[in-house]
Amino acid sequence: MDLDAFFASCEQRERPEYRGRPVVVGARPGQRGVVAAASYEARRYGIHSAMPISEAYRRCPDAVYLRPDLEKYRRASRQVFQLLESITPVVEAASIDEAYLDVSGLEKLLGTPETIGREIKHRILAETGLTASVGIGPNRLIAKLGSEHHKPDGLTVIPPDRVLDFLAPMPVANLRGLGPQAQKIFSRLGIRTVAQLRSIPLPHLEQHLGKKAAASFHRQAQGIASDQVVPGRTRKSISKETTFETDVRDHAVLHDVLLRLAADVAGTARRERLSGSVVTLKIRFAGFETYTRQQKRPLPTQDEREILKTAWRLFLDSQLPDKPVRLIGVGISHWATHQPAQADLFDPPEQRAENQRLLKTIDAVTEKFGKNMLQVGASRKPGV
């Protein structure tokens, strides 16, 4: 189940005057940033997510440009997921607007998979005013591709005996994990459709793509994928980033922005009771020259001070180009088996307790008054 143009649809649902008009959610025109979501009316102009907002405005200056309202989207998402869980308990969130559902064994209660898919779409529209596209297939890959097949407001059913026919004419660009480099290789080999990919022997693909990538695309071309739906699957990472209106060289500004991002990441981690052992720094310069740096910490953390300290050390010590910064971001991953984690096992017990009280206070103030109302102080000096 994939909600259609979710952010933009939420805005059109609440503002009838936006319906039928191109709506772009993301940065404002004249600011540095990208498109987060575009309504289908905006997509007719070639506007899509991750497009620079300047290009979107060039293509359609008359569109409605809105800043994201994440809390609004979370409320709508919770409503949809509660509805899905009333149909089947086996629901796995893939993102805020997308889910895998296992409807095996529900035929006697609810009817055929197609009947269940229609009921899901009908109830989402009736109860939330949003449209969804549903794909039904024997595994995750086929169901996902089915949900994309007739957007918006689509329903596509692919029985097991129709999988190969369904995939055959599809562009290889629709397959999962196809990056720019693999796309260049496929183009050089004259592979444009899944049927053409399927005709290439695996050893030949391995020569050009390597064993891992070749095996993945070979399996997908045969329609082979996992059919496991795992409710409550833990996310792999938490990250936040920001794009500056003008490139920034001032380390004080970069440090302060990184502190705010680390606080957002840590707050999310504490809400979800996650502690990360690996901190990732992302830096982008002009021309989309992008670098990532990672460091494994001796202890997992959900404390913004520790995340910031590690990220800032990566920024100072990783021999990054001495250029103005266009984008900066930070994230954590590799969750601890025990949660939540302590900031430092060598801290005295009273200091650890004080740290936990401080973080709980920050979370309580954030919950009541919004982000950045209360933050910890942090030094720009390495190791402080």
Cα–Cα distances in angstroms (integers) from residue 194 to residues 115, 219, 221, in the given order: 29, 11, 6
Superfamily name and number for 71-164: Reverse transcriptase/Diguanylate cyclase domain (3.30.70.270)
pLDDT of res. 338? 44
Q: What is the pLDDT of residue 232?
A: 79
3.90.1200.10, 1.10.645.10, 1.10.10.10, 3.30.1490.100: CATH of 237-369: 3.30.1490.100
**What token pair was written down for 381?**
């000096």
At 5 the pLDDT is 95
pTM of the model: 0.71
Contacts of 201 (CB under 8 A, 6+ apart): none
Instruction: Tell me the C-alpha distance between 149 and 147, whole Å.
Output: 6
User: In this predicted structure, what is the pLDDT of residue 178?
Assistant: 84
- Kindly state which CATH superfamily the domain 167-221 is placed in: 5' to 3' exonuclease, C-terminal subdomain (1.10.150.20)
Among candidate residues 17, 71, 85, 98, the one labeled active-site is 98
Give the separation between CA 281 and CA 300, rounded to whole angstroms. 16
Q: What is the CA radius of gyration of the chain?
A: 23
pLDDT values of the chain reduced to their tens digit, one per residue, 384 residues: 999 999 999 999 999 999 999 999 998 998 888 898 999 999 999 999 889 999 999 999 999 999 999 889 989 999 999 999 999 999 999 888 999 999 998 988 999 999 999 999 999 999 999 999 999 999 999 999 999 999 999 999 999 999 999 999 999 999 998 877 888 899 999 999 999 999 999 999 999 999 999 999 999 999 999 999 988 777 789 999 888 878 999 999 999 999 999 999 998 899 888 999 999 999 999 877 889 999 999 999 999 999 999 999 999 999 999 999 999 999 999 998 544 444 444 445 544 555 656 566 655 555 544 444 445 555 455 544
Residue with tokens 């952010």: 7
pLDDT score at 352: 52
What is residue 378's predicted lDDT score, i.e. its pLDDT?
53
Q: Is 98 a catalytic residue?
A: yes
Q: Where are the domains of the chain?
A: 2-69, 71-164, 167-221, 237-369
* Torsion sign over Cα 113, 117, 119, 120: positive
Q: Are 300 and 277 in contact (CB under 8 A)?
A: yes
Pick among 3.30.1490.190, 2.60.120.650, 2.60.40.1180, 3.40.1170.60: CATH of 2-69: 3.40.1170.60
